[in-house]
Amino acid sequence: MLTPTSAPSFPSVQPHPRRVLIVEDHPDARESLRLLLEVWGHQVEVAADGLRGIQVALAWKPEVAIVDIGLPLLDGYEVARRLRAAFGATIRLIALTAYRSPEDIRRAREAGFDIHLAKPADPGEIRHLLAFA
C-alpha cells in the first residue's frame, strides 16, 4: 500500500482512460476532482455519500474508485468493504482522505483499499496511480 509522506515528483504519463468513481461528500472537492479526471480523458461518475457510491458502483462497474473516508450514510471503510466484496481484485480502491494517522492507514488497508492518499493529494500522483490502475 502506498502511503506517501511527501509529494513525490512523477514523470509525465498519459494514462489509459479509466472508468473512475469518485465518492466525496464535499461538493467543491468532488467537482474539482471530477473535472481534472475528465480533462485527462477518464470517464467519471460521482456520489456524495457512501450508500449512493455503492449504488453507482454496482450499476456502472468502475475500474477505480476514489473514496473519502468521512462520508455520510456509510463511511469510506464500509464502502471499500462492499466494493471489494462485489468486485474482488477487478477494482482499484483509493482512499483520498484527511484521515492520515497510522491507525487510519491500517483500517483502510483492512477495509480493502489498495492505496491511502492524504488530502490534499498531489494531482501528479493521482494521474500516475490511474496510469497504472
- 39-84 pLDDT, tens digit per residue, is 999 999 999 999 999 999 999 999 999 999 999 999 999 999 999 9
Could you give the C-alpha distances from 98 to 46, 62, 63, 68, 91, in angstroms and in order?
A: 19, 23, 23, 8, 22
pLDDT of residue 29: 95
Q: What is the pTM of this model?
A: 0.88
Instruction: Output the domain CATH number for residue 35.
Output: 3.40.50.2300
C-alpha cell of residue 123: 494531482
For 130, residues 6+ apart whose C-beta sits below 8 A from its C-beta are 15, 18, 20, 37, 40, 42, 64
The pLDDT confidence band at residue 10, using thresholds 50, 70 and 90, is very low
Residue 37 counted as domain residue: yes
CA angle 117, 131, 41 (to 5 degrees): 105
Residue 2 counted as domain residue: no
Using DSSP bridges, classify how beta strands 115-118 and 19-23 pair: parallel, antiparallel or unpaired. Answer: unpaired
Residue 35 counted as domain residue: yes
Domain, as residue range, for 104: 19-122
Q: What is the mean pLDDT of the chain?
A: 90
Provide the number of structural domains found in the chain: 1
pLDDT of residue 99: 87
- pLDDT over 90 percentage in the chain: 83
Report residue 132: phi and psi, to 5°: -115, 20
